[in-house]
Structure 1
Amino acid sequence: MQGLICLVCGLMLWLGLQVSPADAMTNEAYLRGDRLTREAVQAAKKGDLFTAEKIWSDLIDEFPGNPALWSNRGNTRASMNNFDEALADLNEAVRLAPDEVDPYFNRGAILEQKQQFKAAIDDYDKAIELDPNEAIAYHNRGNAYGSLGNWSQAVKDYKKATELDPRFAWAAESYALALYQNGDIEKGIQRMKSVVRKYPLFADARVGLTAMLWGNKQFGEAESNWVSANGLDKRYKDLDWIRNIRRFPPTVADNLDSFLHLN
């Protein structure tokens, strides 16, 4: 499953987190830092990651004891696929703010991208310990357990994520996929159908449902869902992307492989 890296979560850290005495600032410096933080977040949202990274770096030079800045630069670098540099930034954020949740699940997502799944689980465990109601941490831990082949635990984590946040579409979809992979075929399909009904333009769920239905020999319905999904995102024809980047569960990926080779 895909890890979730939050590019904007550090904004609240900048506004509310205590920094080291060496980084004590005047009101003018605080307001300027707040303004630049917002500019960096907006740049990242627009896809201008180079500008965002530069703003974070400039702010880190001025306020090296503020963990939000390290966390946000790490997230930005992860979005640029600079995972080693991103990990170094998140390590510093965790060192500076060991009792904050965000750096742990952001670092966990980067560790997932580096396929260090056991280390990622350790970070998600810590995030859940600090905030047992953090749905993203449960979801991402489910991703890591799934990548290690522990689908029973993945089912539990995804289920918990959906209970904590019923509007978390990715968690609802991941739960359905994991149920299917874990052998609960009918329940997985029914869950995925519910996701598609609620989010009809959710391409990932449409493709997942296509593969699940095809594997269950519901060929006509599988074809129908593929027609709806194929126009939304062309990446789903790339099986290497499906298996190694998107990381569909193996049974679902195999079913999709079978479907695509017959179509």
Structure 2
Amino acid sequence: MSEIIGVDPNRAQAYLNRGNTFARLGDFEAGLGDYGRVIALEPKQFEGWYNRGSARVAVGQYDEAIADLTEAIRLKPNVGYAYCSRGLSYLRKAERAKALADFEKGLSLWVDMPLCYYGRGEIHLADGKHQDAIDDFSRGIKSKPTAESLTQRAAAYETIGEIQKALKDYRSALSLQPRLKTAEAGIARLTQSRQN
């Protein structure tokens, strides 16, 4: 892609592709630069705004992510995953009402959005709505299990006394991310309480 950019530095798709490669490799800063170039070359391209917004979420630039994702939504208002990413930014900024509205909108547009389920589940968990949290985490996990979502569902199970299910989730989280402190602590806590 860099070779294509060298030959034709005004080719937005080449910057988009290279930015996506950087993002997949975890080099979000480099990806941000390429996405910015896409936007400069083709400001009406949804993918440039969406991808830059998503990269900004990954690096914790939530205000900037919200601005980018809002522009992406303006360009294509019927793309559910853009709402889910923006909702995550709102959630990380503790703007829960806006986050929940975006998660609901994203799910109304596309029912299989793990990120929206995880975000909404996180809100339910914080609100003490443990069964609603379990239901949302379960729907997300069915599509795309993550160590974090498994530990959050385990915490909800633990709170309502479903110890075997909590242990199973903590162990599954460790299989995805060995040495995950929250999962290790959960297993230690539950096995110790069963021995007492």
1:143 maps to which of 116, 122, 127 = 122
The 1:56–1:196 alpha-carbon spacing in structure 2 relative to 1, beyond 3 Å, is: closer
Displacement of 1:198: 4.8
Q: Within 5 A, what are the aligned runs for 1:95-174?
A: 95-162=74-141, 164-165=142-143, 168-170=145-147, 171-174=149-152
Gaps spanning 5+ residues in structure 2: where?
Answer: 1-6
2:133 aligned partner, one-letter code: A
Instruction: Give the alignment's Cα RMSD to 1 decimal.
Output: 2.7
TM-score of the superposed pair, with normalisation by structure 2: 0.80
1:177 aligned partner, one-letter code: A
Question: Are the counterparts in 2 of residues 158 and 175 from structure 1 also a CA contact under 8 Å?
Answer: yes
The 1:177–1:78 alpha-carbon spacing in structure 2 relative to 1, beyond 3 Å, is: same
The question of 1:89 aligning with 2:68 is answered: yes
Q: Deviations over 1:35-87 (max 9, x none)?
A: 21121122233343332212111111121111221111112222332211111
Q: Deviations over 1:68-127 (max 9, x none)?
A: 211111122223322111111111111111100121110011111101122111111111
The question of 1:192 aligning with 2:147 is answered: no
Displacement of 1:155: 1.6
Q: How many residues align?
A: 187
The 1:179–1:38 alpha-carbon spacing in structure 2 relative to 1, beyond 3 Å, is: same
The 1:89–1:152 alpha-carbon spacing in structure 2 relative to 1, beyond 3 Å, is: same
* 1:154 aligned counterpart, secondary structure: helix
Q: Which has the higher contact order (CA 8 A, sep 6+)?
A: 1
**What is the alpha-carbon distance in structure 2 between the residues aligned to residue 189 and residue 44 of structure 1?**
33
Q: Within 5 A, what are the aligned runs for 1:52-67?
A: 52-67=31-46
1:210 aligned partner? 188
**What is the alpha-carbon distance in structure 1 between the residues aligned to residue 195 and residue 146 of structure 2?**
24
1:195 aligned partner, one-letter code: S
Gaps spanning 5+ residues in structure 1: where?
Answer: 1-27, 220-263
Question: Are the counterparts in 2 of residues 196 and 206 from structure 1 also a CA contact under 8 Å?
Answer: no
1:74 aligned partner? 53
1:56 aligned partner, one-letter code: Y
Question: Are the counterparts in 1 of residues 124 and 133 from structure 2 also a CA contact under 8 Å?
Answer: yes
Q: Within 5 A, what are the aligned runs for 1:221-240?
A: none
